[in-house]
Amino acid sequence: MARTRTGEWTTAQMPAMDDWTVVVTGANSGLGYEATRAFARKGAHVVMACRNEERGEDAKRRIRTGEAGGSHRGSLEVAELDLADLASVRSFADEFRDAHDELHVLCNNAGVMAIPRRETADGFEMQFGVNHLGHFALTGLLLDRLRETPGESRVVTQSSGAHERGDIDFEDLHHEQSYDEWEAYAQSKLANVLFAYELQRRLDDAELDVTSVACHPGYAATNLQRRGPEMTGSTVRLWAMKAANALLAQSAEDGALPLLYAASAPEIEGGEYVGPGGLMNMRGPPAVQQSSDVSYDRERAERLWAVSEDLTGVTYDLERSMTAE
């Protein structure tokens, strides 16, 4: 059952972020782009982590020139990050850590949905690799900056209502034996929620002032729905997606609200799940919600964590800091 604690929350309620550094993955398009605009309006320095630098620079230009509407007083930086390649994740993290001492908010937002089976550079099924494993590695590699940031810092991981139809197939994680594009998407989005909750439990154990929150946008009109049909060349599915987006979806700007609320509202607590609180949790102002029963399963979460460490080679530095002793 949705619970809106703030009434009609809007970006006007976001705090000033003048000394904040924020990383948004997938910042050139859709929800990541809208979130970037909102953070910049509040004065944040936003690192726009994009797999294609040209598209990133174009998005930055649109925000800076006000072409997309509104002005901003923050600053923007484009950095290359391909979540489908662990070498790229490592070099993004190295460059970020060289240039920045603090990280207030990490938005694990980028994603792909229901695409034909492809593999990442490291041989992972693409949706699991990009949506979950790439972000798992990125978060672990940036954890030192999150923990060194004075005050609370946050990790917000973008899931989807589709996680409710998912499970983790530990026997065939990369769907080599059989592949269904929607099943693989649902698995990757369940992995996002399991990861966000497990991270919070581990942060609590280490008594670190870093908060992990999961969110989902409901249904928003973005480029997400086009990628699958474009890759298969299915014009019928492409038109169906376009029609559904036009008739049923909320705007990308509204779809970004749960992520922005999760990233900035002081009342948000670690391990919560935020999504639109209106019609069928598909639209409306952000609210704290329940995710699927399976997403609260600690055994699955711990197993997924171990497998993710193994596959990515990234382990988290969750030793208690001296100040927490």
Ligand X SMILES: NC(=O)c1ccc[n+]([C@@H]2O[C@H](COP(=O)([O-])OP(=O)(O)OC[C@H]3O[C@@H](n4cnc5c(N)ncnc54)[C@H](OP(=O)(O)O)[C@@H]3O)[C@@H](O)[C@H]2O)c1
Q: Which of 111, 140, 277, 286 binds ligand X (CB under 6 A)?
A: 111
For the CB of residue 24, give the shortest distance to ligand X in the complex, in Å.
Answer: 9
- What count of residues does the chain have? 325
**Whole-number Å distance between alpha carbons of 41 and 179:** 42
- Kindly tell me which of 133 and 210 has the beta carbon lying closer to ligand X: 133
Could you give the CA distance from residue 280 to residue 244 in angstroms, rounded to a whole number? 16
Rounded least distance, CB 199 to ligand X, Å: 17
216 lies in the binding site for ligand X (CB under 6 A): yes
Stretch that binds ligand X, among 23-31, 171-179, 197-205, 270-278 (CB under 6 A): 23-31
Binding mask of the shown chain, residues 236 to 265, with x at each position contacting ligand X by CB under 6 A? -------------------x----------
Tokens 């993955």 sit at which residue?
25
**Count of Cβ atoms closer than 10 Å to residue 170 Cβ:** 10
- Name the residue nearer to ligand X (CB basis): 179 or 306: 179
Residue in 24, 38, 81, 168 binding ligand X, rule: CB under 6 A:
81
The reply on whether position 276 binds ligand X by CB under 6 A is no
Q: Is 286 in the site for ligand X (CB under 6 A)?
A: no
Q: How far apart are CA 213 and CA 152, in angstroms?
A: 13
- Binding region for ligand X (CB under 6 A) out of 13-21, 80-88, 142-150, 193-201: 80-88
CA dist list (Å): 270 to 66, 137, 185: 34, 20, 25
Question: What is the rounded distance in angstroms from the CA atom of residue 235 to the CA atom of residue 11?
Answer: 37
Rounded Cα gap, residues 129 and 123, in angstroms = 9
185 is catalytic: yes
Q: How far apart are CA 169 and CA 167, in angstroms?
A: 6
Instruction: Decide: is 141 part of the binding site for ligand X (CB under 6 A).
Output: no
- 239: how many CB neighbours lie within 10 A of its CB? 11
* Sole binder of ligand X in the list 9, 20, 21, 26 (CB under 6 A): 26
Residues within window 149-188 making contact with ligand X, judged by CB under 6 A: 158, 160
Measured from the CB atom, the residue of 255 and 277 that comes closer to ligand X is: 255
Residue corresponding to tokens 């594009």: 181
**Identity of the residue numbered 310:** D
User: How is residue 222 annotated by DSSP?
Assistant: S
In the bound state with ligand X, the residue whose beta carbon lies nearer, of 108 and 211, is: 108
Q: Which one, of 190, 272, 213, lies nearest residue 4 by Cα?
A: 272
Residue 30 binds ligand X (CB under 6 A)? yes
Nearer to ligand X, 149 or 295 (CB): 295
Interface pick for ligand X out of 20, 21, 23, 29 (rule CB under 6 A) = 29
Angle, alpha carbons 101-81-309 (nearest 5°): 80
Candidates 185, 197, 261, 273; catalytic one:
185
**CA atoms of 138 and 89, how far apart (whole Å):** 6
- 295 counts as binding ligand X under rule CB under 6 A: no
Taking CB under 6 A as the rule, does residue 91 contact ligand X? Answer: no
Distances (CA, A) of 25 to 106, 208, 229, 279: 8, 23, 23, 28
Using DSSP, how many helices (H) and how many strands (E) does the chain show? Answer: 11, 8
Number of residues located near ligand X, criterion CB under 6 A: 31
Q: Which of 2, 55, 204, 309 is the binder for ligand X (CB under 6 A)?
A: 55
Closer residue to ligand X, CB minimum distance, 26 or 284: 26
**Which residues have a catalytic role annotated?**
185
Q: Which residues bind ligand X (CB under 6 A)?
A: 25-26, 28-32, 51-52, 55, 81-84, 109-113, 130-131, 158, 160, 216-217, 219-220, 222-224, 255
